[in-house]
Structure 1
Amino acid sequence: MTNFIKAICFITGIAYSSSIYAQATATAYEETNDKVQSLKIQSDKNAVTDALAPGSWWRRSMQDHDQRLAWYTDARFGMFIHWGVYSLAGGVWEGKPVGGYAEQIMRTKKIPGKVYRKLVDNFNPVDFNADEWMKTAKETGMKYMIITAKHHDGFAMYPSDAYPYDIRLTKFKRDPMKELRAAAKKYGIKFGFYYSHANDWEHPDASGRDWDTVGNAYLANLKGAPDWNKYQEFIPRVQKYVNNKVIPQLKELAKYDPDIFWFDTNQHLPISENLRILQNIRTFAPNVVVNGRLVTFNDFNFGDYLNTTDKPAFFRPQNQVWEGLPTTNESYGYSEFDTRHKPASHFIGLLAGAANKGGNILMNVGPMGNGKMDPRDLAILKGIGNWMQVNGESIYGTTTSPLSVQPWGESTYKNGTLYLQVKQWPKDGKLIVGGFNGTLQKAYLLANKSASALKTARLNDKDLIITVPAKAPDSIISVVVLKTTGKPKLDYTRLLSNTTANVLQAFDAALTGKDLLYGNGKLHNEFIRHWKDDTQVLAWNFRLNETARFKVTIEYNTENENESGKVYITVGEKKLWVDYAPTTSKQRVSKTLNVGIIELPAGAHELKLTAGEHQGKYLMQPLNITLTPVN
């Protein structure tokens, strides 16, 4: 999000994540006519044209967008649950651990449907307790829960008269969706369903089963995603699947009174079918929130908000409501042998980072086949809950921070209050808030509201100094609260620290030139890609209150293993260059190179990253440039 947009939102008091999103998407869709005409299937053209027409069903549904999303944008934190008969396998097949997502073991091991039925026959989660699950979510600080009612294996985790491949075929017999819905109401938690509408490995007319019976007919060139232009003769078959299974089951699930429907992998259906599903939902469940993976078209989605990447590590500014999808380890379904669990601090950092940019975190856990939560997950959730119990006020109901990037951490805003989420506690007891000039009622620690107010002073006409205790109240992130009077004056140019490292993230750069793309935000993928020549430039604006010397480093990787070259870092008339060797993001690695020392005077500066000569298709993929103060 640009500083200009942040300023407009802050001045007007409009939450960027709702009203401006509805206006922006409507405007953007006005400019898509050429893209619509580029669609190769006439039924897709017709469906998109009809949805975008003035007064269309889609445009009418967007008139209620803000009201529909009100609870969602306040919630900020939810629990995602992948649980099904695959949980009984626990990432193990025929006695051997299986890599990848455990919930996709059917596809990973190319298990025929008749063999997969052994999991159905033996599924009996006698330890399942809906109240325990919902209480855990509540104690963790989560405000909504989404659970897999049907995943890609096609098995319904509730009694489905519309298509009775469902929970009644197991030894369990009960309806866990009904029990969870009741528990959600008891604990005041919003509740909804993940439904795999496009991938279905059981139905003979569905897409996605690329190893058994009909799947090969739907394969294209990349990752099994269908190219429907090549396989138009199969569209009537998936239409039959949508008619006979998808829409009837969604109508059944709507009777549970859900707050949200969550979809995925829409590339496995033509756009026209995805739109038809959405139009049906808007008819029989008009107030239900629909995520952004049901229907996408070019850079837009027809849902209520955007889903960013799975397993994110970094976030970039967005121009709409959005949600990140981390999971406790590396799988979404329960995996007995996946021990790559992240600590609670990782997810607390994600919560702060997402709220800073106006986003939600939907955090996944994969319960075991017996119905119990994995103890490893429970330990993580407890750690998050401990932090949220004290600091949740700085997350819930907040909007995108009006402050520029701060070297000590993140910040959020709500009703005249700024929450400073400090990761790097100042060693000298002086917390500098760059760009803040306003009237304060009080500054205090969120962890100790009853304590004396913190002392504040003006560093200059743009920046504030807060005197904080020598020891941080929290070892992960401590929150300092600024109660303001009126709208403070803000300087949106980032203030660099002369005591701690300043990381200029590629995601925060201003981009010049065509065709530059963002990485997906996973670890070592928080880069800018498709950098080809010197017409494309990354730039960061910042300022200094006094002369400072910095050690300059750059972190990068390359898309291909034959790409090397030279790039330049320029600040004013000062120019540094660095030669780089190949690496590859596919290996999830990066390299950090020392660039040199640069001395800069007080004042405003612009740092530019520009292209030199290079070998291979693209230049490096920069992740960040770090300026570390040196004596």
Structure 2
Amino acid sequence: MQKNWFTTGKFGLFIHFGLYSLLGGEYKGQKIRGLAEWILNNADIPLEEYRSLAGEFNPQEFQAENICRLAKSWGMRYICLTSKHHEGFALFDSKVSSYNSVQASPCKRDFVREMQEACEKYGLTFCVYYSQAQDWDDPDAYRAYHDNSQKNFARYFYGKCLPQVEELLTNYGKIGMIWFDTPIDMSQQHCRELSELVHKLQPECLISGRIGHGLGDYISTQDNRIPAAPIEKMWEVAGTMNDSWGFRKGDENWQTAATTIHKLLKIAARGGNYLLNIGPDGQGRIPAACLTELNKVGEYLEKAGESVYSAYTLPLYVYEINEYCFTARDHQLYITFFNPEKLQGRTFDIPNICNHVVQAKWLNLPESYNEERMFRETSTLEGDPCYIVTLPKNLPNIPALTLKLTLAEADYRQNPL
């Protein structure tokens, strides 16, 4: 497996799934503030009581093949599953701790194995999330917003964390990336040992930036945060479709397809990847509203995906704009307009781009929409080069519309102000 799967793939699926999915952000009839997957910590649920959820964990609707088929149709190139989140419950068959979905739950299922095999079948790169510092079930692991000074972290680190990471990287084939999270007070030595173990077992496996002490193979931004400027190093934004990572009952603040595409294109143009999360419920069902918006994203990428995959890092455009953004590949410039139904028939002056255009074509519209008057090159009264783009009328209801410009030059060029 070559590491360039990350730089060319651009779009991945994050899956937050665990015992917290059964609670859906509620405890004893009360909605608990904060992220749904943090409910054990935020509601201070007694461990014995929380552990009993494992006996109810039987998500018959969680089907790895269906998830991978959907991810493929949504235009995603890799999948990252929470093999063990902060709650400490593992979704794989671990010999280190019996607190896992195979040994402690009636379903007796190894979800990491199921996802790994389904990803292989659908040509997706399989990745795993592993909470290396926090494990709220282990008395010696760290726990956010609690006093960790009396803990014997080394006992947990060598007794559970390192052995479980070794299991993941030994028993489940090629792992594209391991997504560590919240290092908290981990020492540089411990982070380095963890990094060395990963690269020893699977030299091509990427390590997320949240391993700590700058030891990641790429930059992990803060949740849902898109850098304001291009970054030449490898980086990734992990984001949510609504307000939580794990399933939360009543959280209907779903990100629209247009917003998802806009974020994806901005991230790609600035050199990064977008790892977008879904949180199945306790039965393994993906919320219907989430499916609806992601299906629209997939329909767009099926026709206009070339504007995303393998896009190279662009300098920021010289002017602030809201209605459209740019991505580029060799000899290609893509201009994508968002919510085009509101913009139909409008003409946009796009100055200061110096490339000469050989051909202009709408990627995700029928050929009949490609007319001579939709695009032309000219110059402003001040002498700056300028593109004139006119959007068609009677547009279908689509979240984004992409114009592909084939350039005479290999690289993107713009005039400075």
Q: TM-score, normalised by structure 2?
A: 0.90
Partner Cα distance (2:220, 2:75) in 1: 21
Contact 2:258 2:339 in 1 (8 A): no
Q: Give the 5 Å matches for 1:474-485.
A: 475-485=398-408
Q: Counterpart of 1:276 in 2: which secondary structure?
A: helix
Give a deviation string over 1:413-432, Cα, whole Å, max 9, x none.
Answer: 11210111123866775433
Residue 75 (structure 2) pairs with residue 141 (structure 1): yes
Measure how far apart 1:336 and its partner are: 0.9
Structure 2 residue identity aligned to 1:480: L
Q: Structure 1's 374 and 398: CA in aligned 2 closer, same or farther, altered over 3 A? A: same
Partner Cα distance (2:411, 2:99) in 1: 59
Counterpart of 2:167 (choices 233, 252, 259) is 252
2:97 counterpart residue number: 163
1:413 counterpart residue number: 328
2:386 counterpart residue number: 464
Partner Cα distance (1:273, 1:466) in 2: 56
Partner Cα distance (1:489, 1:142) in 2: 26
Q: Counterpart of 1:74 in 2: which secondary structure?
A: helix
Residue 272 (structure 2) pairs with residue 272 (structure 1): no
**Where do 5+ consecutive residues of structure 1 fail to align?**
1-66, 219-230, 494-541, 543-631
Count of residue pairs brought into register by the alignment: 404
Residue 267 (structure 2) pairs with residue 354 (structure 1): yes
Contact 2:79 2:126 in 1 (8 A): yes
Residue 61 (structure 2) pairs with residue 127 (structure 1): yes
**Where do 5+ consecutive residues of structure 2 fail to align?**
none
Q: Give the 5 Å matches for 1:615-630.
A: none
Q: Structure 1's 277 and 428: CA in aligned 2 closer, same or farther, altered over 3 A? A: same
Q: Give the 5 Å matches for 1:357-396.
A: 357-396=270-309
Q: Give the 5 Å matches for 1:608-619.
A: none
Larger strand proportion of the pair: 1
Give a deviation string over 1:199-226, Cα, whole Å, max 9, x none.
Answer: 111112211166xxxx53x1xxxxxxxx
Partner Cα distance (1:271, 1:92) in 2: 37
Partner Cα distance (1:416, 1:199) in 2: 47
Q: Give the 5 Å matches for 1:399-548.
A: 399-402=312-315, 404-406=317-319, 407=321, 408-423=323-338, 429-448=346-365, 450=367, 451=370, 454-460=374-380, 462-471=384-393, 475-487=398-410, 490-493=413-416, 542=417
Give a deviation string over 1:118-157, Cα, whole Å, max 9, x none.
Answer: 2111111122211111111111111111010000011111
Structure 1 residue identity aligned to 2:332: T
Q: Counterpart of 1:127 in 2: which secondary structure?
A: coil
Q: Give the 5 Å matches for 1:4-19.
A: none
Give a deviation string over 1:36-93, Cα, whole Å, max 9, x none.
Answer: xxxxxxxxxxxxxxxxxxxxxxxxxxxxxxx953110111111111000111111111
Partner Cα distance (1:209, 1:482) in 2: 50
1:546 counterpart residue number: none
Measure how far apart 1:448 and its partner are: 3.8
Q: Which has the higher contact order (CA 8 A, sep 6+)?
A: 2
What percentage of aligned pairs have identical amino acids?
30
Partner Cα distance (1:336, 1:281) in 2: 36
1:327 counterpart residue number: 240
Counterpart of 2:23 (choices 85, 89, 107) is 89
Partner Cα distance (1:240, 1:90) in 2: 32
Q: Counterpart of 1:169 in 2: which secondary structure?
A: coil
Partner Cα distance (2:286, 2:156) in 1: 33
Q: Give the 5 Å matches for 1:273-352.
A: 273-296=190-213, 301-312=214-225, 315-352=228-265
1:22 counterpart residue number: none
1:75 counterpart residue number: 9
Measure how far apart 1:302 and its partner are: 1.9
Q: Counterpart of 1:278 in 2: which secondary structure?
A: helix
Measure how far apart 1:466 and its partner are: 3.3
Q: Counterpart of 1:172 in 2: which secondary structure?
A: coil
Give a deviation string over 1:383-415, Cα, whole Å, max 9, x none.
Answer: 221222222111111012256245342111112
Contact 1:431 1:467 in 2 (8 A): yes
Structure 1 residue identity aligned to 2:180: F
Partner Cα distance (2:316, 2:128) in 1: 36
Contact 1:126 1:371 in 2 (8 A): yes
Q: TM-score, normalised by structure 1?
A: 0.61
Q: Which of 1 and 2 has greater Rg?
A: 1
Partner Cα distance (1:260, 1:487) in 2: 32
Residue 48 (structure 2) pairs with residue 114 (structure 1): yes
Contact 1:201 1:209 in 2 (8 A): no
Contact 1:102 1:334 in 2 (8 A): yes
Which consecutive aligned stretches of 4+ in structure 1 deviate over 6 angstroms post-superposition?
Answer: 424-428
Residue 113 (structure 2) pairs with residue 178 (structure 1): yes
